[in-house]
A and B are shown apart, each in its own frame.
Chain A
Amino acid sequence: MGRNAAIKRYDATPAGQPLELFDSTRSRRPVIVELLRSPWIVRASEIGRSDGGCATKRVEESVSVEWDAHRQCPLSFTRSDRRYIVDAVIQVWATERRWWDPRRHVSRRFFRVLSQGGVYDLAFDRARGGWLLTGIQD
């Protein structure tokens, strides 16, 4: 079925449940992940505001991350003593800036993850060697 297979495959009108689109979290997750991964959808939180910022909450918190060495992505992260299981990795990107200036050098690999109904940006800081929570999307 090609792209967006999960969305296309989902039966939006199951019998006996006329009001609920999804019958469970399990059935909802693949569709949400696919929607989140769809580059043609721009979320409201990503739309820039007139002051130059955006609705995404930008943070810079140290977190501990459990790493899946096989899949090369986070399994879970712990924030304020609360463990967040990573349900899906939505996007990965990297930043490497001002490497010639040790005070302003930024070298991070970002993982946008879906966890417990929220979208979080985790970053591994390669220059300093630690995990950070850098954004809370929704």
Chain B
Amino acid sequence: MGAASGGFVHLHTHSPFSFMDGAASIEGLIARAAELEMPALALTDHQGLSGAIRFYTACKAAGIMPLVGCEVVVETAGVAGGEADLPPEARLVTPASVGFGRASASGFHLTLLARDFEGYRNLCRLLSRTHLRGAEVPSVVHLHDLKTFSGGLIGLSGCGNGEAAQAVAAGHAGRASAAIARLSDCFEPGSFYVELVHTLTVHAPRVISGLVRVADDLGLPVVATNDVHYLRARDHRLHDVLSAAGARMALPGPYDRPNGELWLKPASAMRELFSGIERACDATLEIAARCAGFELPLGEFHFPGADIPAGETPYSVLAKESWRGLEHRYRPMTPEAIRRLQHELALIDQMGFPEYFLVVKEIVDFAKRSGIRCSGRGSAGDSIVSYALGITDADPVRHDLLFERFLNPERRQMPDIDVDFDSARRDEIIDFIYRRFGHEHVAMVATVNTTTARSAVRIAARAFGLPIAEVNSLSRHLPWVSARKIREVLESYPECRDHPLHDPRYTPILEIAEQLDHTPTHLGTHLGGFIITREPVASWMPLQWAAKGTVVSQYDKDDIEVLGLVKMDILGLRTHSAISEAVELARARVGEDAVPEPFDLVPDDPRVYEQVSSADTVGMFQLESSGQRNLSTRLKPSRFEDIIAQISLFRPGPLEAEMIVPFIRRRHGLEPVSVPHEGMRAVLGDTYGVIVYQEQVLLVARAVAGFGLAEADSLRRAMTKGRSREEMERIRGHFLERALARGVDAEVAAEVFRQLEGFAAYGFNKAHAACFAVVSYATAWLRTYYPGEFATAILNNEPMGFYTPRLVVNDARRHGIRILPPHINASEARYTVEEAGTAIRVGLRDVHRMTARLLEEIPRERTVRPFCDLTDFLRRTRAEVSATESLIRIGALDGLGITEADRPPTRDELLALLPEVKAVLAREGSAGDDVLCLAPAPVRPAEDASHVSGWSPARRLSAELELVGLSLTDHPLALATADLIARGVTWARDLRELPDRSRVRVCGVRERAQTPRTRSGKRTCFLTLEDPTGLLDVVVFSDTLARAGDVIVKHRAYLIDGTLQNNCERGLAIVANDIKPYVVRTASGSPVRMRRGVPSGPMGPSLGGAGAPEEESWSEVAIAAEERAGWGEGRT
């Protein structure tokens, strides 16, 4: 690639990874460059390399040379000090801030390109050093850093926002010259170019001419770029919208660009723009040629250093540890286990992965040493080495798990072992990793957040300058679909029937939003992904501060895998925290030795299986969702293998392939177990001839066609991913040939292949299910034997699982556990167990407006002596009025104090007294007042004199739901029992007794609504409702959904007429025919709340139990509408 005239390479190109300043997708840029026959293309996003790896691999695949670089903000070079130090007439306008999050900065731009791998590493180091200088320090590249890390880099002086270009434009040629001289001095000789950008403005020729003169004077080469921000001229609108929204401004945004010329122009157009300066275009080819040596070392693995004693090798250590573990796991050790371990160790050694296993083991060992509950999951469960090392807990021999599904020797891929840790103690694990491997060798993995329909509409609407209320109304209530589907959902989804986006004046917003589909908008931090490297992470990838104050890579997990680096998922599982806490609570009550370790239980307790098969599974890991509860009643699990099957069957793949029906029918003898080939009978015996697990695909291929397991896994993968018709035909031919060679009948072989083809893509990883099943059984056992402790532990570790705390509380109450309201003389911050495990006391931390100080103060003061009344409480805790008001309203001061009527004050009286007492206490000490007894202010008479609060049940319930998000007294619909009975409503608990196909009317509060994809492509909604007696599963098929979809979205409680489905084949559910909203009202006519109305306590939704407020309904208008329509309404 010489400097032959006629060609051109774009050396300054932005992708969406410039975060809100690039509108051309990486794929689009590469495809267009290929179409324009450009030999190379550079990617120079702002302040980072987030798109670099995918750009590199995509360019290689397209046959285009990738030039990796970025555009950084660099400190002022042309004058000493900053702009503010200069006289006004000499100052330049500082460009707007670019980059994302704490890696953003405003200042002059400089373009950098990596000439070779060393240049790439220096670029990573330079960016990391700049971004990590200080969390609050702007990410501006210092010149001395630039000089230090410029090896292997080529520098271009910057676009129109470069200091030199700005200085020339402002008529300060001397400053431009000084800036370029100083910048060029930072680079190796011959590695700095003066960048010329012709943006087709009136002044562009003058700026270019000035820069050429400066370059000529300094003897530096010039190079032409177009500062590409979008693919084609028409896309400038998209870019304007992005940059405006990114700067949180209305259009025209921070740049107010004069035109839309920053597109990927063909070589001819670029050469025409620079017709007098051909050498500037020739230089692009010359730079590309200089960067031809840049290659990322892909296909190699780079493991962090494991702890290997002198004289040992990673393999020898792994082998010793594995054999030791095997001895512990298998008593007695079986020949099969020995054979498998030998086989796996040989393969692991051959593939070069011993160090990886040892690193995972080190982390797991630390967790176990520290008493932190953890469990491995995923395909790692297929390995007996993982099992022997204590990383996973499911026996691969017993469950017929296949190592080749985890590590296929035919495909050398980085192994991925996922381990879940007790989320409450995950920080200790993270702390260990940093200590063990060193802070420079560990970083968190990034996630790339992209637009959905909602965010795309928000971006467009904000850029168009709409008020925030209007922006909210446009984006809310859009389903979670991709932006390109907005029009489709507006037209077809019943809940979007009245959506404001139907208004034609929003058409431009809609058009822009659609084009923003899947645009990266910002970097997030992976929930638990850590990169651990032997060399400092910063020599592999740029690092920056995340919002949380941790160091995060600019690469996501896929990029890291491409680079061959180790990513460990240190995931927090709240179920582990709940299990640990439930065990602790149970042991505190019944004794340390009375409660065994749940993970070590022999999973054969009939009482546990009885509870699972009766669908009484709220809180059970992986078994509690409405679909799983339905499956429980159909499957009737009675052994551990059934739990594994149950976890595997209710997954998108098996559901889509409709595997459940034949599985259930065969299990209950409703249809015979038939397999086309006898070899399959043994392999598929556990699943009644249905291919449920991915491991079974391998076994069938081996049994019928004689495939090796590794070969069979390759076949499975080929059948699973991106199958073209031709590819499938090739695989089929290969399979049939092998089967026929083994004497299998052609028709039989064809039928086996048809079944493999049908199920391979949908099967579930059995190892993953088996690892989960261990945890599921532990939760089921705890729920069976220690329901009070288990529910308390769940509530203390919310949010977790499928249901809200509200439902967990209601479920506990239905199981005879008393729910005690929060009380200042009894409650701790967290939920506690009382009355020998038969009652749960609600903790104070979920009460609205509670402060962290009060949560410590109340229990501490109580240990001195109990609070005797409101004054005593306020005096000793100095509680804020707002928090005290919440406590009074929730009943936490019920029964305290005495009034003149010789009874405790009602809540209304306490509320009336509160400001007076507060005022008196404020004067205490200064005015000498010490008022202990105050006459309560006149308040409205008690609604319910029989209750200490004086409040009616409806009012109490509304306050409970509003302030803690829980219905402590009773289920809200219990207030309307009489009305519901009069309407002929059947309770959830009675449905099981009714015959199949009965017509029923039910009423429930929405807990969950799901619309999973179905094979037919039609929308079906699965509603999980709750009435006072239990859970209701309602299926809303597309025709009913079309009529009632908006009712489902806009309301919380419904009256549903439908047909009962109650048979062993399909389970228990109601098929809805008609759905109407239902409102419970108090005697005064105000609606009783169904949802939390205010945020939780000081811990916030992540730690607080009840979480964030939920919408009661779409709007008051909706309630008014239902009143007009005379829909269901019950008064208490």
Contact = CB atoms under 8 A, between A and B. Distances in A.
A96 B208 contact: no
Interface in B260-303: 260-261, 276
B259 A95 contact: yes
B1068 interface: no
Given A98-B252, A100-B508, A91 B205 contact: yes
A39 B237 CA distance: 30
Given A3-B276, A98-B252, A93 B201 contact: yes
A39 B209 contact: yes
Nearest to A99: B237
Contacts of B251: 98, 100
B462 to A, nearest CB: 12
Contact of B464 (A37, A96, A100, A110): A100
Given A94-B259, A95-B258, A39 B205 contact: yes
Contacts of B213: 40
A79 interface: no
Nearest to B250: A100
Given A95-B258, A96-B258, A96-B260, A40 B209 contact: yes
Contacts of B261: 94
Most buried by B among A94, A97, A100: A100
B206 interface: yes
Contacts of A110: 202
A59 interface: no
Interface residues of A, number: 16
A98 to B, nearest CB: 7
A95 B209 CA distance: 21
A135 to B, nearest CB: 11
A47 interface: no
Contacts of A92: 200
A3 to B, nearest CB: 6
Nearest to B260: A96
Contacts of A40: 206, 209-210, 213
B206 A39 contact: yes
A132 B257 CA distance: 23
Contacts of B58: none
Contacts of A95: 258-259
A91 B203 CA distance: 10
A93 B204 CA distance: 9
Contacts of A93: 200-202, 204, 259
B238 to A, nearest CB: 11
Contacts of B237: 99-100
Contacts of A94: 200-201, 258-261
Contacts of A96: 236, 257-260
A100 B205 CA distance: 29
A38 B209 CA distance: 8
Nearest to B241: A100
Interface string A20-40: 000000000000000001111
Contacts of B204: 93
A39 B212 CA distance: 12
Contacts of A38: 209
A49 B200 CA distance: 25
Contacts, number: 47
Contacts of A91: 202, 205
A95 B258 CA distance: 6
B933 to A, nearest CB: 68
Interface residues of B, number: 24
Contacts of B209: 38-40
Contacts of A99: 237, 240
A59 B504 CA distance: 36
Most buried by B among A39, A97, A110: A39
Nearest to B258: A95
B217 to A, nearest CB: 14
A68 B276 CA distance: 22
A2 to B, nearest CB: 9
A99 B208 CA distance: 28
A92 B464 CA distance: 30
A3 B259 CA distance: 28
A54 B1100 CA distance: 62
Contacts of B464: 100
A70 B489 CA distance: 47
Interface string A73-108: 000000000000000000111111111100000000
Contacts of A98: 251-252
Interface in B160-202: 200-202
Given A100-B251, A100-B464, A39 B208 contact: yes
Interface string B750-780: 0000000000000000000000000000000
B744 to A, nearest CB: 67
B214 to A, nearest CB: 12
A96 B261 CA distance: 9
A38 B206 CA distance: 8
B471 to A, nearest CB: 15
A62 B476 CA distance: 47
A97 B208 CA distance: 23
Most buried by B among A3, A40, A92, A93: A93
Contacts of B508: 100
Most buried by A among B200, B206, B258: B200
B194 to A, nearest CB: 16
Contact of A97 (B200, B206, B258): B258
Contacts of B200: 92-94
Contacts of B258: 94-97
A78 to B, nearest CB: 25
B234 to A, nearest CB: 10
A40 B205 CA distance: 9
Nearest to A72: B272
Contacts of A97: 252, 258-259
A114 to B, nearest CB: 16
Interface in B1082-1115: none
Nearest to B213: A40
Nearest to B256: A97
Nearest to A4: B276
A77 to B, nearest CB: 20
Contacts of B208: 39
A95 B276 CA distance: 23
Contacts of A37: 205
Nearest to B209: A39
B803 to A, nearest CB: 45
A98 B207 CA distance: 25
Nearest to B273: A92
A37 B240 CA distance: 31
A92 B206 CA distance: 13
Interface string A28-71: 00000000011110000000000000000000000000000000
Interface in B1040-1083: none
Most buried by A among B202, B236, B257: B202
A113 B213 CA distance: 26
Nearest to A92: B200
B261 to A, nearest CB: 6
A98 B237 CA distance: 10
A112 to B, nearest CB: 9
A40 B252 CA distance: 31
A102 B213 CA distance: 42
Most buried by B among A3, A92, A96: A96
Nearest to B206: A39
Contacts of B276: 3
Most buried by B among A3, A94, A95, A97: A94
A37 B275 CA distance: 12
Given A95-B259, A96-B258, A96-B259, 6 more contacts: A37-B205, A39-B208, A39-B209, A99-B237, A100-B237, A100-B464
16 contacts: A39-B205, A40-B206, A40-B209, A92-B200, A93-B200, A93-B201, A93-B202, A93-B204, A95-B258, A95-B259, A97-B252, A97-B259, A98-B252, A99-B237, A100-B251, A110-B202
For the complex of A and B, 5 pairs with smallest distance between CB atoms: A39-B206, A39-B209, A39-B205, A96-B259, A94-B259
